[in-house]
Amino acid sequence: MPHINFNNDFPGIRSAMAYSPETAAPMGVLAEILLRSTEGLQPAERELIGMYVSYLNDCFYCHHSHGEIACIYLGGDRALVEQVRKDYTQAPISEKLKSLLGIAAKVQQGGKFVTAEDVSNAKANGADDKDIHDTVLIAAAFCMFNRYVDGLATTTPTDMSSYPLRAQQIVDNGYGSHVYSAKQPV
Partner 1 sequence: MAHIKVEEGIPGIRSLVLFRPETGKPLYDLAQVLLRGPSPLTEAERELIAAYVSHRNGCNFCMSSHAAAARCLYGEDKNIVDEVLADMFRSNVSDKMKALLHIAGKVQISGKEVKPAEISAAKALGANDREIHDTVLIASCFSMFNRYVDGLASFTPTDPAVYEEMGKRMATGYVAPTRP
By CB under 8 A, residue 27 contacts partner 1: yes
Q: Which 33-52 positions form the footprint of partner 1 (CB under 8 A)?
A: 33-34, 37
**Residue range at the interface with partner 1 (CB under 8 A); choices 43-51, 68-76, 141-149, 166-174:** 141-149
CB of 185 to partner 1, least distance (A): 25
By CB under 8 A, residue 175 contacts partner 1: no
Determine which residue in the list 137, 155, 168, 185 makes contact with partner 1, applying CB under 8 A. Answer: 137
**In the complex with partner 1, which residue's Cβ is closer, 78 or 123?**
123
Q: How far apart are CA 175 and CA 145, in angstroms?
A: 13
Size of the site for partner 1 (CB under 8 A): 49
Q: Which 56-85 positions form the footprint of partner 1 (CB under 8 A)?
A: 57-59
- 54: Cβ contacts below 8 Å, ≥ 6 apart: 62, 63, 66, 142, 145, 146
Q: Which one, of 80, 83, 79, 54, lies nearest residue 66 by Cα?
A: 54
Q: How far apart are CA 133 and CA 111, in angstroms?
A: 12
By CB under 8 A, residue 171 contacts partner 1: no
Q: How far apart are CA 92 and CA 181, in angstroms?
A: 38
Q: Which amino acid is at 125?
A: N
By CB under 8 A, residue 152 contacts partner 1: yes
Determine which residue in the list 22, 87, 159, 183 makes contact with partner 1, applying CB under 8 A. Answer: 22
Torsion over CA of 83, 94, 168 and 31, rounded to 10 degrees?
Answer: 110
Torsion over CA of 52, 57, 59 and 64, rounded to 10 degrees?
Answer: 10
**In the complex with partner 1, which residue's Cβ is closer, 19 or 163?**
19
Q: Using an 8 Å Cβ cutoff, are 141 and 30 in contact?
A: yes
By CB under 8 A, residue 149 contacts partner 1: yes
Q: Which positions touch partner 1 (CB under 8 A)?
A: 3-5, 16, 19-20, 22-23, 25-27, 29-30, 33-34, 37, 57-59, 103, 106-107, 110-112, 114, 116, 119, 129-130, 132-134, 136-137, 139-141, 143-153
